[in-house]
Amino acid sequence: MAPPKDSKDEYRRLNGAQKAAIFLMSVGEEVAVKLFSMMDDEEIREISNIMSSLGQVNSEIVERLYVDFAERVSASGAVVGNYDSTERLLVKALGKGRVDNIMEEIRGPAGRTTWDKLGNVSEEVLANFLKNEYPQTIAVVLSKIRSDHAAKVLMHMPEELTTEVILRMLSMEAVKKDVMDGIEKTLRMEFMTNLAKRQSRDSHELLAEIFNNFDRNAEAKFMGKLEERNSEAAERVRALMFTFEDLAKIDGSGIQVLLRAVDKDKLATALKGASEKIKELFFGNMSERAAKILKEDMASMGPVRIKDVDEAQMHIVGIAKDLAGKGEIVIASDSAEEQLIY
């Protein structure tokens, strides 16, 4: 018996990657593992992304797919693709290391529900997405996330739109469940699923991180070449770079936290090539005895290779960034809004 017309239409709308995802979910883990092992990372990432959000696929669609592949369909009926089953398949084929990166991209921000996840999305990214929605829709979304996060999102929107949203929030009544479900589904399918693609890194940020990992000779050479070709881009990259000298943006209590996390031999090497300002910053946040011992260690080291100094400084900068990411220290921004008041 021929499948109903709507199944035919649904099948025709599937693209190649979607068909591949359904096929892999229907053939069983053993076969799928072998097929995944023959793919490159880009193919795996694309198909896995689709698999993780497939939901239930009509068995008639699976049959049509098998006919397309000129194979006999088994009696397995419908297949269900979800995050856990996708991850399980990939781990068997690729190993946990590669799979963690792929699934992290698929999963997006942390959180059990879509609303929880929104609370972990950058306010700027969320604002850029929401500003194309109706003010009423934006009001509903912002009512479901933390008030501090909602305030930051509004600050990144055009002033007129922000005013409209605020007025809608003031007059907002209870939202019907089907309307709320529709908004949540749109956010999940159009925003969350593709968040990693939308959040592609700014090229200047990427270059700044690369320059941070150059030794000082390579940094000076390539920054000079960049300035010759595009002085504006060079200026922006330089502003985004975080160097050992930028540790001066950390307050005294933060430096003390950093001191507890840093190997003292690495610190001695790093300070050999630091400015007096940075040296005093560290010495001033140590006990008199500890500072005296560190100075003696530095003096006894004699000449140190620039390469070793650069490596030690980059190592300590990396620790500082990790601590800042965990909220254990604060690195002040150059912008007026981020300046600290004591």
Q: What is the pLDDT of residues 114-151, one digit of tens each?
A: 677 777 677 887 888 788 888 888 888 888 888 888 88
* Total number of domains in the chain: 3
Indicate whether 99 and 124 sit together in one domain: no
Give me the pLDDT at residue 279, please.
Answer: 94
From residue 158, alpha-carbon distances to 133, 139, 146, 201 in Å are 13, 14, 20, 23
Please indicate, yes or no, if residue 221 is contained in any of the structural domains. no
Q: Per residue in 155-211, pLDDT tens?
A: 888 888 989 989 888 877 777 777 777 877 777 666 655 554 444 455 677 787 788
Q: Which domain holds residue 287?
A: 242-338
User: Which residues on neighbouring strands pair with residue 80, listed in sequence order?
Assistant: 56
Give pTM, 2 decimals.
0.39
Q: Is residue 253 located within the same domain as residue 291?
A: yes
Q: Are residues 85 and 121 in the same domain?
A: no
If asked whether residues 253 and 180 sit together in one domain, one would say no
Strands 55-57 and 79-81 come out as antiparallel
**Confidence category of residue 3, pLDDT binned at 50, 70, 90:** very low
Same domain, 87 and 144: no
Query: Is 227 part of a structural domain of the chain?
Result: no
Residue 4 pLDDT more than 80? no
Domain annotation covers residue 257: yes
Same domain, 26 and 55: yes
Report yes or no on 218 lying in a domain. no
CATH number of the domain bearing residue 252: 1.10.220.30
Average pLDDT over residues 27-53: 81
End-of-domain residue from the set 90, 107, 124: 107
